[in-house]
Amino acid sequence: MEQLTLSIMERDVTFATTELARSPRLSAPLSSLAHFGFLTLPSFSMIAFTSAIEVLRMANYVGRAQHYRWSVLTPDGVAARASNGMTVKPTRTLEEAGMPDVLIVCGGTQIRSVVDSDIKTLLGDVAQQGVPLGGICTGAYALMSAGLLDDYRCTVHWEDLSALHKEFPRVHFADELFVIDRDRLTCTGGTAPLDLMLNLVESRLGQSLAAQVSEQFILERIRSASDPQPIPVDARVGFSRAELIEVVRLMEANIEEPLSLEELARLVQLSQRHLQRMFKVYLSVSPTHYYLTLRLRRARDLLRTTDASIARVTTVCGFHSPCHFSKAYRAQFGHAPSVERRQPN
């Protein structure tokens, strides 16, 4: 994954939290997406590409039907070489493969140098025909460069958030694994395309089949669009902020018995006022709010992935009152803790 410009330590990204934060679905029914086109650009990420395609393949396998087909594309039909040196065949032109139901750009380490006027024209022509567009790994950069993500919500790998936010101010960046906004789908790198595609499979073929696909890949659960991508705290604030990083580590290590602000400040030899100022400047929240969010996310993980009772989760995550836990959980996630047990992941 190319680090387009790593300036997360000075990051001033403002994520959409208004109506834009409620990511609407594709304008065309998700159930209509059966033919996926993957536009592979030179040095594309093989793990992101194969994570996406393998979900479709496995859906056909466990569903015992040809629910999906896919085409690997390049502008000239010549197979692009991935960042690991491998190529994928057969590779065709868009004309040879036929227009897919959705075209997903697969980017990688050389994205800035490979997105030229021909790529932008191709994407613009596809958009003009009303075909949904997507980007995985750095593929979203191609859409941004062509002006095709203006006024859309999207997500990119955490390494690139700050630089791209400054370069494309009309794009609304979200700190999420993947985003579906009307006729645009964007996804971070690595294995996150697994989650995007599993959610698309669930929308078309149902939760049961999506769960079977997930089980074949030995996934703990299917992550949703509401799941934030994990951003290392040292990347958020910069390696030079050792005290702040240490405070976050202390918070992560003391979930069941939360430390007070006074204790945290004393352990890193800072004043409480200075500690509060650092959190506000570098993480845009107070230490108390950051700590609470850590505990609530841990609670959600436990509710989704274990059989621990809600009462037990309440205690393990440092809440001494079930009422306080339920109220904080609802404020953070928009529903009560019990909903996690009623809804399959």
Question: Residue 155 falls within a domain, yes or no?
Answer: yes
Residues 143-166 have pLDDT tens digits of: 999 999 999 999 887 677 667 877
Tell whether 269 and 323 lie within a shared domain.
yes
Question: Residue 271 falls within a domain, yes or no?
Answer: yes
The pLDDT assigned to 245 comes to 81
- Average pLDDT across the chain, whole number: 84
Question: Residue 224 falls within a domain, yes or no?
Answer: no
Question: Residue 144 falls within a domain, yes or no?
Answer: yes
Check if the beta carbon of residue 128 is closer than 8 Å to that of residue 204. Answer: no
Q: Containing domain of residue 289, as a range?
A: 233-342
Question: Residue 2 falls within a domain, yes or no?
Answer: no
Question: Residue 251 falls within a domain, yes or no?
Answer: yes
Tell whether 80 and 207 lie within a shared domain.
yes
Question: Residue 309 falls within a domain, yes or no?
Answer: yes
The pLDDT assigned to 271 comes to 93
Residue 276 pLDDT exceeds 80: yes
The larger pLDDT score, comparing residue 70 to residue 2, is at 70
Domain count for the chain: 2
pTM higher than the cut 0.85: no
Question: Residue 78 falls within a domain, yes or no?
Answer: yes
Tell whether 15 and 161 lie within a shared domain.
yes
Residue 66 is part of a domain; what is its CATH number? 3.40.50.880
Residues 37-47 have pLDDT tens digits of: 999 999 999 99
3-state secondary structure the chain: CCCCCCCHHHCCCCCCCCHHHCCCCCCCCHHHCCEEEEEECCCECHHHHHHHHHHHHHHHHHHCCCCCEEEEECCCCCCCECCCCCECCCCECHHHHCCCCEEEEECECCHHHHCCHHHHHHHHHHHHCCCCEEEECCHHHHHHHCCCCCCCEECCCHHHHHHHHHHCCCCEECCCCEEEECCEEEECCCCHHHHHHHHHHHHHHCHHHHHHHHHHCCCCCCCCCCCCCCCCHHHHHCCCCHHHHHHHHHHHHCCCCCCCHHHHHHHCCCCHHHHHHHHHHHHCCCHHHHHHHHHHHHHHHHHHHCCCCHHHHHHHCCCCCHHHHHHHHHHHHCCCCCHHHHCCC
Residues 209-239 have pLDDT tens digits of: 999 999 998 887 777 666 666 655 655 555 4
Residues 235-266 have pLDDT tens digits of: 555 544 778 888 888 998 899 999 999 999 99
Residues 21-38 have pLDDT tens digits of: 334 444 455 668 999 999
* 298 burial via Cβ count (<10 Å: 0-12, 13-18, 19+): middle
Check if the beta carbon of residue 173 is closer than 8 Å to that of residue 161. Answer: yes
Q: What's the pLDDT band for 12 if we cut at 50, 70, 90?
A: very low
